[in-house]
Amino acid sequence: MTQHRERRPGAWCAGLLLAAVSAVIGCRIAGTDGITPVPQLLAFLPWLLAPAAFALLCALLTRWWTGLVWALAVLGLLAWYVEPYGRTAEPDGPPLAALRVLTANVEFGHATPALVRAVRDRHPDVVFVQECDAGCRAALEDGTGIRYPHRRAVEADGSRGSLVLSRYPLTPAPGVHGALGMPGAVADVHGHPVRLQLAHPMPPLPGQVGVWRRELGRLRAFAAAGPRTPTVLAGDFNASQDHAAFRHILDTGLTDAARLTGHDRVPTWPSRTASVIGVQTDHVLVSRDFTAAGTRFLSLAGTDHRALVVDLTLRRRT
């Protein structure tokens, strides 16, 4: 009896950990983001391997065989869902144009000086900027205006402001409605129309999960509305491939460029811990008209997000 009592705390610990992780993995299996705290935990799905492994150890040490089987099942499911999501097939038509895209969340404009330097160094063709206030817009216009004469902006303060810079002519487009600015445009890339849309839905904070889900749904509707026009949808999605609402966007036929270049699990937020633990919430999604040749993640002083630079090639559909 004493030995059984000594084992009980370890079994309880294993059971509680496995119950929590199982709730999250259950939502992943069901294709739903659930309610708080599930959406927040889904973002860190790969890191749930740690508590699941600890639960396995507790079950083993306490000889709780049911818990041991449970832990092995949970670990197997987690390993399965850590695999990247989305298509990898790329078009094989002849190349039409090269397009370098940069997206950056400058956190209330604080990282604007670092972004200006990055733009000058990397020479992107199109720049998507989130949380770009009036000072940010002015600094980018002064620092990069000659190279980027075309722009679309949502002029607002704090996190609501956004900006799209382009060296290609832009035709205004309605953009996607949201609490944070999400401007859109159609670029004329060497005579080929390319839909550009900045993404910045509300984060899935407690009490705002419904807004986050609706705004990701609007981005999905945008993606589905132009299946025959080359499309680039880029920005801070506040979501990862482990969120059902984000996967619904990919299911329209768009592909994460980082996925195409083998960087689908590289964290972009929070930038301070991204080398150890983090989430890829910043994405460049492209239609099947594009191939991706390279992806780079840039640390910018003043923001908690890494910037993302992707080299794309627009190809003719065959």
Verify that 141 and 62 share a domain, yes or no. no
- Residue among 128, 189, 203 nearest 162 (CA): 128
Structure tokens at 266: 């590289």
Please check whether residue 240 lies inside any domain of the structure: yes
Please check whether residue 89 lies inside any domain of the structure: no
Verify that 9 and 129 share a domain, yes or no. no
Domain that holds residue 295: 95-315
Secondary structure tally for the chain: helices H, strands E? 9, 12
Q: How many domains does the chain have?
A: 2
pLDDT digit string, tens, across residues 205-248: 999 999 999 999 999 999 999 889 999 999 999 999 999 999 99
Question: What CATH number is given to the structural domain containing 213?
Answer: 3.60.10.10
For residue 5, CA distances in Å to 1, 8, 15, 71 come to 6, 5, 15, 21
Please identify which residue in the block is written with the tokens 């920005």.
235
How far apart CA 14 and CA 309 sit, in angstroms, is: 42
Please check whether residue 9 lies inside any domain of the structure: yes
Structure tokens at 244: 């059902």
Task: Say if pTM beats, i.e. exceeds, 0.85.
Answer: yes
pLDDT digit string, tens, across residues 5-60: 555 888 899 999 999 999 999 999 999 999 999 999 999 999 999 999 999 999 99
Verify that 78 and 101 share a domain, yes or no. no
**Model confidence at 275: pLDDT above 90:** no
Share of the chain above pLDDT 90, in %: 86
Q: Domain ends where: 51, 82, 113? A: 82
